[in-house]
Structure 1
């Protein structure tokens, strides 16, 4: 006892609702609200290029969260996430240009179409695990890439497809400042849905399948059902992110959804933290900003040392090497990702000076 108040020590949750609350503390709730308010004010103070980076973080984070639900929460590996991301982009453009669906409605509908595709590919994958599952999802990447190249009625083939800008009540949301709010709304909604999903019965079943599938099956968890369901949810998030990506660029091409991008999505969730909603956003920020930091470092070297022969020409390769090196270093030195380091720092200051 200090003065007349007791120092809390231990676990005092007395109900399941307290154990599954979205925000563990009032401070975390205030922090999230403040972060959303600051993000909403960003277009008022930031220039076009920082806004472009924030928009990229938004739609990539949505797609990466879907992959984290599949890989981090359910333990199912996927090497074809970029193909579902691309399908969402093509589906939204097709719904808008061919069927005449408004863009803001075509985006969630594209997510549902991608969900059906993910469930289809998830049927055989739901009975596989380990290396066999990785090969199955690897095959789905190339099957969809071939579909993108041949289905001219849907994707435009080698010519690609045009994606119209979003509009609301006749007001076109085509500029970075306007489209930023579209991405922000979808980002907040999808992340809240993802965080709530992991608190539900289905979310706990996903974790049970990941941690010990035999024990989960003994307890009555239908492994095949939840594995297929996780593929569908992952595909829904990929479709939403891809649709936002397509309408932002205004043009969708099959060349942009390769196995390399699938590996980059895996890098986002590995660096951020497997199974963590917050870690997904951290990992996406890291992966989007790393090439920019690498380019800035190269420019600094040129200013200090002078023009190094071949350095400028090799910049693209240096950026790709930096991404690969970052993934390897995190796997070795910080396998739990950035979110684990963030929690460690919070615990240190929360318990200081008795942080042991």
Structure 2
């Protein structure tokens, strides 16, 4: 039930920075419109010879709108748009405006007051932030408030007519809201699908080279825990393609991807850089963990490729602050070739990084 209410009434408005910026701009525009509405109401109270002429309640309501709206800028709007506080802000804003407008219309002649048009403006602007159920709820609150305060004390056909029009306008706003959110959800789904395809190797389903470099760049620029890159090149893979065909080779690549994924945590990155070359980016809290990880990768690949004679040469290097993405891969590549030169099915470490990090060199320990 709670999930249904969250989805239908106070769903977070934004999931990315662009969407957050849109809604923050929407709030600022709403503040401007509230100010204009307040000044228009103030001018109406001063210049129009109605029962609300210079009425203290009407002047106070206009002053509250003018003076209170700018304080919304003091709220943590960027954070609020990402959680339930965003829609709750608009609900509270709409309810507060409704109360002020109904008070103003009551002292200005009730159902005959021209100030009632401000409710239509409020609902039309605020409904962009509401789910359809929220639009109906807020529109219903406006209609009931108007009927209770302005129409029922002195029933008039004109007042009932305005209430019916307001209810109809609420349904139109709800339909517009439904279309807008459906379009947004569809665009978001398409964008996520596109991003996933752009970052994924189509054969194995793991990350591609571009996505791996993006992850590596983020790790280099961050201040997180120690990380290493393991470059994995398959030994004997060409023979599988030549002997059994490319379909068998593709099956081996997919099996190796699964073996690499089983060797690391879900938060680590596994990528196919091209051909039979893979890369792993993993966090290693302790220095000895790097050597253990590299050897686990080697063992997993050997197990996955045992039936077709495929093993792995693994080159491992530490990621250091200030590194260049391609320098890291070059160091790992050189370490991998040392393992391959020693006979394959082994682990080679980056000698240049020995001063900063010294995992056990297992090249000589695990040769085919």
For the superposition of Structure 1 and Structure 2, which TM-score range results when normalised by the shorter chain? Answer: under 0.3
Q: TM-score, normalised by structure 1?
A: 0.23
Q: Which has the higher strand share?
A: 2
Greater helix share, 1 or 2?
1
**Higher RCO (C-alpha under 8 Å, 6+ residues apart):** 1
Q: TM-score, normalised by structure 2?
A: 0.23
